[in-house]
Amino acid sequence: MRFLSVTAPFWLVGFRPFFTFACLAGATLPSLWLLLYTGHLHLSVQGFSAMQWHAHEMFFGFGWAVIGGFLLTATKNWVQIRGYHGPALMFLAFAWLQERLGMWYQADLPRPLFLLSNNLFLLAIIAMLLYTLIGHRKTDSYRDNYFFLIILPTFLVAKNLLLSGEHFQLGISMSLGLFRVAFLVMLERTLTQFMKSVFQVNILRHPRLDLIIKLSALVLVFDGLLPESLALPLTVLLALLLLLRFAFWYPHLALRRLDIGIMYLGYLSIVAQLLLHCAAALTDHTWVGTLSVHVFTFGVMGLIIPAMIVRIAQGHTGHKVTFDRLDKAALWLMILAFVGRIILPQFAPDLYLGCLMLAATCWLACFALLGARYIPYLLQPRVDGKEH
């Protein structure tokens, strides 16, 4: 139990506890949802549905464990400071854990206590991240970090709308849109580095094009509030601009390597989600299984996040970043989950429940594998002798 000590390596930097939570959440949350969906398990909740619980936990439980761990680690490097560690991370970890319990036992909590439980983690981590970015803006390495200054507090609005009775769909739309902006910013930065390092090529980074893409994505966070005559053309524009840029990002090279290629597939999933969203508004075709949202959660989050965990868990603990057979197996499991949850049900809707079981099993296997491999890394000091 040494990891409970405030000086333990586990609390040296944000990705350590939160990538641990991401592995645990990624392995368990889809399976819990499947048990709820099939009636084998029941929630103690009032005021929101099991579907809302599922959406909330995947975005704000699993998703925010990843984005929180990433940003706690990345922001300190962007502005060149030590970053949050020790008691600060222990508090955030406690807040994240008690939120999971609060969401499960919501009906047993007084309303004020539930609201505190449900917002404590996000309020705290957003305040801490904003303090870092605003307080140290003079040493910030990235001029476009103002996108994070905008989207981070907006997550709080989306979170509470998602759990409301009449604004659930708006909350889903905003949550997805906010994660889309975050992933677009992160993909620009990371893929530029990866492609330069691995293939010695410079992917297209045109400042005006990049800015238009990110601004369009930011406006589309509020897609549910915009008139359709504005939202749909803007959605198509963003998809086309992303495809245009993709063509100059050397996909023929990236797709030769699974560890980078899977991030390109995640990028394409952003495009697919945008186009499917437009198709749903313009046609009468009915897709199986809320397709647009799940293309994002399985195609963007599900494909990119495992690769992120492997790279960061290795690189930021002093190990050489390499994807071995087991790491690649984890990525293939998530590709199989995507095929099983997104593609197969469209051709075999009668097998929908079996497809859900396949997808949940793949998530369980992938994140259990990643957890077994990398949680020990997160509990130990860096192997290169550096502190953090």
Checking if the pLDDT of 3 tops 80, the result is no
Residue with token string 């939570």: 21
* Predicted pLDDT of residue 2: 76
Structure token pair of residue 271: 């495009």
Q: Provide the 3-class DSSP secondary structure of residue 358.
A: helix
The reported pTM is: 0.97
Residue 205, C-beta contacts closer than 8 angstroms, at least 6 positions apart = 188, 192
* Predicted pLDDT of residue 133: 98
Per residue in 136-192, pLDDT tens?
999 999 999 999 999 999 999 999 999 998 999 999 999 999 999 999 999 999 999
Burial per residue of 346-382, b for 16 or more beta-carbon CB atoms within 10 angstroms, e otherwise: eeeeeeeeebbbbbbbbbbbbbbbbbebbbebbbeeb
**Mean pLDDT score, 29-34:** 98
- Residue 269's pLDDT band (cuts 50, 70, 90): very high
Structural domain spans, the chain = 2-379
Distance CA 173, CA 382 (A): 40
Domain 2-379 is found in CATH 1.10.150.120: no
Per residue in 236-245, pLDDT tens?
999 999 999 9
DSSP 275: H
Distance CA 18, CA 122 (A): 13
Longest dimension (CA), the chain: 60
**pLDDT > 90 in the chain, percent:** 95
Per residue in 347-385, pLDDT tens?
999 999 999 999 999 999 999 999 999 999 999 999 998
Distance CA 234, CA 215 (A): 11
Distance CA 225, CA 287 (A): 23
Rounded to the nearest integer, the mean pLDDT of the chain is 97
Per residue in 205-260, pLDDT tens?
999 999 999 999 999 999 999 999 999 999 999 999 999 999 999 999 999 999 99
Distance CA 53, CA 43 (A): 9
**Mean pLDDT score, 111-128:** 98
Helix axes 111-135, 87-104, angle to 10 degrees: 150
- Residue 45's pLDDT band (cuts 50, 70, 90): confident
